[in-house]
Amino acid sequence: MKTLLFLFFYCFTVFQLFSQTAVNLNAKKPNVIILYFDDMGYGDMGANGETGLTIPKDSKYLDWKKPSLTPNLDSFAEQSVRFTNGHSSDGVCSPSRYSLITGHYSWRTSLKKGVTGGYSPTFMGKNRFTVAHLFKKHGYKTAMVGKSHMGMTFYDVKGKPYSQKSGSYATAMEEGFVDFSRSVDNSPISTGFDYWFGTPASLDMPPYAWLESKKNKVNVLYKGGVIKNNKVDFSQAQFAKNSDFEVIKKNDGVHARAGAKDPTFAFEDYLQIQSQKVRDLFAVYEKEKVPFMIYIPMPAPHSPHAIQKKFEGETGYEYGDYVVQTDYYAGEIIKALGDVNDPNSLASNTVIFITSDNGPEIGAFNKSKRLNHDANGPWAGIKRDNYEGGTRVPFMVRWPGVAKPSVTNHPCWQGDFLGTMADFFNYELEKNEAPDVESFLPILKGKKMPRKRRAGFIEHSSGGQFAFVEYSGEWKLIDGTGGGGNATTADADNNKVLKEGEIGGAPRQLFNLKRDPGERDNLLVDDPNNPNDNNDPSKKSIEMAAKLYNSLNKIRGDKMWGVDIKQ
């Protein structure tokens, strides 16, 4: 009996020692996760304000007594520093993603407006410094799992780079423009990531298939990830051939563009497959005891709203159900790290940055509005605009041992996370590595920002319109007469009455966001502070507009669309 007890305690002790040393617990090199949503509006996250939607009493994943679509994100918010004034760099996908990982505004590249497509060439220079490079310099393993949408190089059957202009989405494969058996270049592994598993662009843009890197090559996969008995199976994956693919028609059950598709690629299963791949990486890195950085760009809740059956009916409408599904799989990733209060867990030494690439899409916003769900929150504007609702998005950082849970109105943008981590590492960024960032590490530590600050930051629209917010977040100037993205967009009361206007047109728009966060009063048109009371701007407003315009031009240069910076 004594022998058995001894063996039991010996094995238990060894297990404890192993479990305590099987993860990276070096606080000087915390693991880092960037969880990036697609089209999730500020108001979609319950922590930013309760939804007015009536939640069905038979909901499986939501509590009908708690008006929120995002229970997992809400719980995460309670453990985090939640920013109520955190922004994407742009009102649409591609530029925001580029800016997030480079600390570079996207208009400094060839992409002055709009987004790339599934087959588009990359607009990122070969020598561009990224957040992945920053972590690799400090001994990290780096990975990306999910949607890229910054362009890459596919090849045709003759081995020449394919240009999307050569053919339509639907005819790219059958007319011989794309050869899916050839490896792909200029992918995320060309930008500092050791590993990538994901898709080229948004979930409504072909090709519809998983791609994966192996060493220095990226290949299109057939059966890249399939669900079997509610479990993800990666074992069937093989390099694709054109004969493996089918061509789906536009709106073929998923509201996606026509084009090439792996028949086993299930839109509704994307998030489950993505979350499983991330959790598998956790296990690998945990075993290797190495610090890691994983960038996880989800394609949701962007359309198509491809909903698994178990999430159908959760909210009473399609977009709401998809937000719930998105929240669920984000929660699965977070929970896989373990208990943040357990000092031996991955969670205890992992920084998690959660945010979204822009505000809510028009269709999602309209459907939500009819059911009293305010997807853009209290702001004017939606996706594509550089009114606040286009770029002010969910924005949270959980950093055990460094950042105490709190709420801050500190104005910043997503590239600042790169600057924050560089600051933590005491890494001095070179002039051209990430010129547009500023560290918010003091905010995370509960301290004041230094006196020496940048003048402010830029909010950019899908149409190429610039807006400049000065560093305190009080004053904002829009260089144009509308939101710069949508033909009509929502005001702060969710009425679609704001017009597109003219980019670079006059009168520009000046707002005091401290007094007028809903951007209701353009102080260059109707200034309530003008003592003459004749709807003209006051002297202070004219002077402030000139000051902000000067600061904007110092950053963007002497060109309307912004000056390029050499790679």
Q: How far is CA 154 from CA 151, 192, 240, 250, 531, in A?
A: 10, 19, 13, 22, 62
- Asked if residue 11 has pLDDT above 90, the reply is no
User: Up-side HSE of residue 483: CA atoms within 13 Å toward CB?
Assistant: 34
Residue for token digits 């599904």?
Answer: 325
Question: Would 21 be classed as within a structural domain?
Answer: no
Write out the E strands in 100-188: 141-147
CA geometry: angle at 286 spanning 327 and 191, to 5°? 70
**Is the residue at 17 inside a domain?**
no
pLDDT band at 562 (very low <50, low <70, confident <90, very high): confident
Same domain, 367 and 495: no
Of the ranges 151-165, 236-250, 495-509, which one carries the lowest mean pLDDT score?
A: 151-165
Residue-wise burial string across 331-346, b where 16 or more C-beta atoms lie within 10 A, e elsewhere: bbbbebbbebeeebbb
In a domain, 500, yes or no: yes
Q: pLDDT confidence of 565, banded at 50, 70, 90?
A: low
562 inside domain: no
- Rounded distance between C-alpha atoms, residue 513 and residue 223, angstroms: 50
The DSSP code for 420 is: H
Q: Rounded distance, CA 81 to CA 75, Å?
A: 12
Extract the tokens encoding 256.
């996606």
Is 68 part of a structural domain of the chain?
A: yes
Nearest residue to 328 via CA among 144, 530, 542, 74: 74
**What SS3 class is residue 57?**
coil
Cα 56 to its chain centre, rounded Å, is 29
Q: Are residues 294 and 363 in the same domain?
A: yes
* 301, 232: one domain: yes
Domain boundary at 397, 417, 444, which? 444
Q: Is the same domain home to 84 and 221?
A: yes
- Taking the C-alpha atoms of residue 44 and residue 17, their distance in angstroms, rounded to an integer, is 43
- Among residues 444, 475, 490, the one where a domain terminates is 444
Closest CA to 267 of 235, 234, 308: 308
- Over residues 198-212, the pLDDT tens digits come to 999 999 999 999 999
Q: What's the structural domain count of the chain? A: 2
Q: Clarify whether residues 428 and 490 are in a common domain.
A: no
pLDDT at residue 165 above 70? Answer: no
Residue 297 to residue 202: CA distance in whole angstroms: 10
Q: Which residue has the higher pLDDT, 197 or 165?
A: 197
Domain that holds residue 109: 30-444
Q: Is residue 18 part of a domain?
A: no
Q: Are both 297 and 176 inside the same structural domain?
A: yes
CATH, residue 100: 3.40.720.10
**Cα gap 372→337, rounded to integer Å:** 35
Query: CA 52 from chain center: how many Å?
Result: 25
- Domain shared by 417 and 472, yes or no: no
Considering the domain architecture, whether residues 254 and 211 belong to the same structural domain is answered as yes
Q: What are phi and psi of 458, to 5 degrees?
A: -105, 135
Per-residue model confidence as pLDDT tens digits over 468-494: 999 999 999 999 999 999 999 999 999
C-beta neighbour count of 283 within 10 angstroms: 11
Same domain, 481 and 377: no
- In tens, the pLDDT along 314-345 reads 999 999 999 999 999 999 999 999 999 999 99
What is the spatial distance between Cα 214 and Cα 54, in angstroms, rounded to a whole number? 47
Does 247 have pLDDT greater than 90?
no
Assess if residue 25 is contained within a domain. Answer: no
CATH of the domain at 524: 3.30.1120
For residue 55, being part of any structural domain is answered with: yes
Look up residue 228 and give its two tokens: 């079997």
- Domain end (from 422, 444, 466): 444
Same domain, 170 and 197: yes
Q: Are residues 434 and 307 in the same domain?
A: yes
| Whether residues 419 and 534 fall in one domain | no
Task: For the beta carbon of residue 175, count every other beta carbon within 10 angstroms.
Answer: 13
- Residue pair 483/381 in contact by the 8 Å Cβ criterion: yes
